[in-house]
Structure 1
Amino acid sequence: MKDIFARLASDFLSAIIFLAIYLVTDNVILATSVAVAGAIAQVIYARVKGHQLSFMTYASLALVIVLGAVTLLTNDPRFMLAKPSIAHFAIGTIMLKRDWMLRYMPPIITDTVPEYVTAAGYAWAALMFVIGAGTIAVASTGDLKLWAFYISVVAGGAKILAFAVQYVVLRVVVTSRRRAAARA
Structure 2
Amino acid sequence: MKDVFRRLGSDFLSTIVFLVIYLTTDNVILATAIAIVGAVGQVIWSRYKGQTLGYMTWASLGLVIVLGGATLLTHDPRFVLAKPAIGHAAIGLIMLKRGWMLRYMPPIVSETIPEYVTFAGYAWAALCFALAAGTIGVAMTGDMKLWAFYVTVVLIGAKVAAFAIQYVAFRLLVGNRLRAAARA
| TM-score higher than 0.5 | yes
CA contact (8 A) 1:19 1:144 kept: no
Identity of aligned residues (%): 69
Q: Specify every segment of 5 or more residues in structure 1 that has no aligned partner in the other structure, as ranges.
A: none
Distance 1:99 1:150 in 2: 30
| TM-fit CA distance, 1:123 | 0.3
Q: Could you tell me how far apart the structure 1 residues matched to 2:16 and 2:77 are?
A: 13
Secondary structure in structure 2 of the residue aligned to 1:76: coil
Q: Deviations over 1:157-178 (max 9, x none)?
A: 1111111111111111111111
Match of 1:56 in 2: 56
- Distance in 1, matches of 2:47 and 2:147, equals 32
CA RMSD of aligned residues (A): 1.4
Change (3 A) 1:24 1:109: closer
Counterpart in 1 of 2:12?
12
Q: Is the 8 A contact 1:68 1:80 kept in 2?
A: yes
Structure 1 residues 88-127: Cα deviation after superposition (integer angstroms, max 9, x where no partner)? 0011000000000111112211221110001000000000
After the TM superposition, which parts of structure 1 deviate over 6 Å for at least 4 consecutive aligned residues? Answer: none
1:109 aligns with 2:102: no
CA distance in 1, matches of 2:19, 2:152: 12
Distance 1:9 1:78 in 2: 22
Partner of 1:165: 165
Using structure 2 for the length normalisation, give the TM-score: 0.93
Question: In the alignment, what sits opposite 1:123?
Answer: 123
User: Which runs of structure 2 are paired with 1:35-74 in the superposition (5 Å)?
Assistant: 35-74=35-74
Q: Provide the secondary structure at the position in 1 that maps to 2:124.
A: helix
User: Partner letter of residue 155 of structure 1?
Assistant: L
C-alpha spacing 1:7/1:139, structure 2 compared with 1 (3 Å): same
- Of the structure 1 ranges 136-145 and 26-35, higher mean CA displacement relative to structure 2 is found in 26-35
Q: Contact (CA 8 Å) 2:11, 2:56: kept in 1 or not? A: no
**Alignment-derived partner of residue 94 in structure 2:** 94
In structure 1, what is the Cα distance between the partners aligned to 2:16 and 2:53? 20
The 8 Å contact of residues 12 and 60 in structure 2, kept in 1 or not, is answered as: no
Instruction: After TM superposition, give the deviation of residue 20 of structure 1 in Å.
Output: 2.9
- Compared CA separation, residues 34 and 108, structure 1 to 2 (3 A): same
1:32 aligns with 2:32: yes
Kindly state the Cα deviation for residue 4 of structure 1 after the two structures are TM-superposed: 3.1
Please say if residues 81 and 147 of structure 1, whose CA atoms lie closer than 8 Å, have aligned partners that are also in contact: yes
TM-score by length of 1: 0.93
Distance 1:17 1:181 in 2: 51
Aligned 8 A contact 1:95 1:124 in 2? yes
Contact 2:71 2:80 survives alignment (8 Å) = yes
